[in-house]
Amino acid sequence: MMAYNETEAGLCFVKSSASRIRLNLYPTQSHLPDMASPERLVEDAEREWLEIWVAGPGDNRSKPLDSGSSAPDLELLDHTGTPRQLASFWSDGPALLMFWRHFGCGCGLDRASRLSEEYDDYQKAGINPVIIGQGEPERASEYRERYGITCTILCDPDYIAYTAYGLAHFGVEQVLYDAPEETWCHSMEIGLEFQEARRAIDRPLVDNPWMSPGEFLVGNSGKIRTTYAYQYCSDYPDARVFTTAAKIL
């Protein structure tokens, strides 16, 4: 016969003093699952990076959606954790969807610097820039603040939007073209060395090291006006490609 003991967390079904089955019917706040801390999220993302690094890019290459295609309208969380529809960014004018490299990549930092310089030109052309990144809201918020990014960052840790827009992996040569030849094998040893070096400068290697960026200008009709496919990691677009396209929409 089970005895019932009431606790502040709910009901405990006590089988004996030696064994207990606990059923929390009315959990208090202290018994609810904790949100992962940013540090824990970074650790998990570092493990993901290393696993995918060692596995290599495989044969999965990008086939970005062409201009004239309908832009997939997906719901993603932004850097504040708020759900946002992609279509809300192009409802009042063209939107520039910038699919980002992982948050530890130097190419992302360079793109952020260029975006800061180009931002006024985008605004004058009526373009609404938005970043789609691989991190969760907590990491996206920290990244945005650290690097002075003005626009919204949307979060796609499961690569749903990347895939919907036809983005996939770079080849080894597109990521490691400027790296020593001994790194091309993307071994565990090399990956661990890379991670140690990046931690030392507080820029950990996280998420998917092979995922290609891409940029799409979407008109308020929901059609893609311009597609920019990166041919290698630091193959940044000229902002005038997008500002000109926006002006002749």
Cα separation, 175 vs 209, in Å, equals: 8
Span of 18-22, 141-145, 199-203, 231-235 with lowest mean pLDDT: 18-22
Tell the burial category of 159 from Cβ atoms under 10 Å away from its Cβ (0-12, 13-18, 19+): middle
User: Is 7 a residue whose pLDDT tops 50?
Assistant: no
- Which helix (H) or strand (E) segment is 130 a member of? strand 128-133
Q: Which of 205, 179, 247 is nearest to 44 (CA)?
A: 205
Amino acid type, 127 = I
Structure tokens at 184: 């091309």
Identify whether the C-beta of residue 61 lies closer than 8 Å to the C-beta of residue 219: no
Residue 56 is predicted with a pLDDT of 98
User: Is 17 a residue whose pLDDT tops 90?
Assistant: no
DSSP SS3 for 78: strand
Residue 37 is predicted with a pLDDT of 82
Cα separation, 149 vs 116, in Å, equals: 7
Residue 38 is predicted with a pLDDT of 79
Cα separation, 106 vs 236, in Å, equals: 12
pLDDT band at 113; cut points 50, 70, 90 = very high
Cα separation, 150 vs 29, in Å, equals: 35
Structure tokens at 172: 């080894």
pTM reported for the whole predicted model: 0.84
Domains of the chain as residue ranges with CATH: 1-33 (no CATH), 38-247 (3.40.30.10)
Other Cβ atoms closer than 10 A to 247: 12
Residue 249 is predicted with a pLDDT of 78
pLDDT band at 33; cut points 50, 70, 90 = very low
